[in-house]
Amino acid sequence: MISEGLHRFPGGLKLPTEKGLSNGHESLITPLPDEIILPLKQHVGHPAEPVISIGDNVYKGQVIARANGYVSLPVHASTSGKIRDIGLYAVPDALGLKAPCIKIEPDGLDSWCDIQGVGDFASMDPLTLQHVIRDAGISGMGGAAFPAHVKLKEGTQTEVNVLIINAVECEPFITCDDRLIREKPGYIVAGTRMIRHAVQARRCIIAIEEDMPEARDALLPLLDDDIELITVPTIYPQGGEKQLIRVLTGLDVPSNGLPIDIGIIMHNVATAAATYRAVHRGEPLISRYVTVTGHVPSPRNLQVLLGTPVRHCANQCGYQERSGDSIILGGAMMGTLVRNMHMPVIKSTHCILVKRVLNRAPEMPCIRCGRCSDVCPARLLPQQLYWYARSQDQDRLRKHHLFECIECGCCSYVCPSNIPLVHYYRVAKNKINQHEKSLFDAMQARQRYLTRKERLAREAELQSEKRPDTEATKTETQDKKAYIREAVKRGRTRRRKNHGHKGDVSDE
């Protein structure tokens, strides 16, 4: 039953869900691969710093890279084995870029380091609980991969009226959260209560889609009056943070603002499960549920150790890499098309989608039909953004709120001219970010120059205070030189006189 009092977000689409491909079977625990590759950056923020060396033996759950700053997270070994390399490897990236990673050769023992839960979380100070979650390396697992402790910290600095646990899996093909809830409902409910305690939220909601009845039924017996379970219609992209907040509360997150600005915090349902593991058992985030689906022989969900190669996961579903297949990390709408299957599963990898060759129709001129505006969930003007992106008019792109675009792909999906609108927006965002970074770097360089100049001026002033007065010193030096000249002159005069006197005597 859909909860009464729900609101509607603008735009959106009813899409074929394709979820029956993978959600009808229990998840499989993926066997150990031949190698584990763990990127030092698997989240928004700064990459971690290695604390191990090549050749070291490590245990499962051991910290192998420490957090580097506030918006950063540690990296833990996802199995026991030997560190074989610390270097550049392919990571989930549309451009096929490489990034610093730690490579582990599993020893096959899967031996844990010493871990311990914290016991009664309800008696803990909320800040202490946040530190436990941070030290476990937990980031948002719904795709954005924002460090969880940063959101939790916001909750202790500003009053939280509503905590929302997002189980709305709106994108086609993806069912990992559905299977997680069905198989581990106790983890979800307990983790939700832990997060609520960490932010001291007044109200707590678990939101779930109407096409996930089995997951809803698994949660209901475990709930009490402290958690509301609300079912929402299946409309894409209702799982988006701002869209779901609108549906549940009727409130809009301010432009360029955050949910905490209106007293709301949202976490993914998988993040809640990871929180339970971290607090109750002491387990860091080293694995996750991943949907492997599309054109594979046996689509299903896997429980995967982080760092496991994408190819190894696909092989568990009977897939062998074929030339020409499209490999998408994520869903069909917002996923990243990658060039190969060499990269590893990371904290934000929730789906591996295999599709046949994408025979996209050629791009045609815009006919100004306005369909893109009708379906935009962010109330933007996609057509205008398209023109300004093509002309690289950064000022107008900012004025038309380019960065409010969540890249859901609704506009591209309905475009009769087959214009890849989201591609243009992504390129424009990257260019603006690069431009702003260059300005920031220049500003920092100027600041460093001015700081150095001020420091040198202060040092020169201090040196001048230690030396005698320059003018007095100069006068004294001149006086000494004048005295010396006069003395030399007197000496010469005396010698001439003495010489002249001796000459007179000899003549006589």
Determine which helix (DSSP H) or strand (DSSP E) holds 316, and give its type and residue range: helix 310-316
Task: Give the C-alpha separation, 323 to 337, whole Å.
Answer: 14
Terminal alpha carbon distance of the chain: 147
Summarised one tens digit per residue, pLDDT across range 434-455 is: 888 888 889 989 999 999 988 8
pLDDT for the residue numbered 473: 58
- 12 contacts 235 by C-beta, under 8 angstroms: yes
Tell me the pLDDT band of 493, cut-offs 50, 70 and 90: confident
405: tokens are 């675009």
What residues form DSSP beta bridges with 38?
Answer: 102
E strands in 91-227? 98-106, 162-167, 203-209
Which residue from 66, 42, 71 is spatially nearest to 149, judged by alpha carbons?
A: 71
Q: Are 341 and 314 in contact (CB under 8 A)?
A: yes
Q: What tokens does 106 get?
A: 């599993």
Mean of pLDDT values over 6-21? 94
| Three-state SS sequence of 45-84 | CECCEECCCCCCEECECCEEEECCCCCECCEECCCCEEEE
Predicted local confidence at residue 503, as pLDDT = 46
Q: pLDDT at position 356, please?
A: 84
Does the structure show a pLDDT above 80 at 494?
no
Between residues 458 and 196, which one has the greater pLDDT?
196
**Would you say residue 102 has pLDDT above 60?**
yes
Q: What pLDDT is stored for residue 371 in this prediction? A: 96
pLDDT higher than 50, residue 322: yes
Q: Is residue 412 very low, low, confident or very high in pLDDT (cuts 50, 70, 90)?
A: very high
pLDDT at 129 over 70: yes
For the chain, what is the mean pLDDT? 91
Q: Both tokens of residue 11? A: 């735009």
Average the pLDDT over 153-176 and give the result: 91
Range with the poorest average pLDDT among 15-19, 147-151, 456-460: 456-460
Statement: residue 385 has pLDDT above 90:
yes
Contacts of 275 (CB under 8 A, 6+ apart): 133, 136, 138, 148, 191, 194, 195
Classify domain 19-338 at the CATH superfamily level: NADH-ubiquinone oxidoreductase 51kDa subunit (3.40.50.11540)
pLDDT score for 508: 35
Q: How is the chain split into domains, by residue range? A: 19-338, 364-455, 468-502
Segment among 17-21, 174-178, 207-211, 475-479 with least mean pLDDT: 475-479
Does the structure show a pLDDT above 50 at 120? yes
Residue 181: its pLDDT value, please?
98
Q: What pLDDT is stored for residue 495 in this prediction?
A: 75
pLDDT digits (tens, 9 = 90+) for 455-480: 888 888 888 776 655 555 566 667 77
- What percent of the chain clears pLDDT 70, i.e. is strictly above it? 93
Give the pLDDT of residue 507: 38
Indicate whether 237 pLDDT > 90: yes
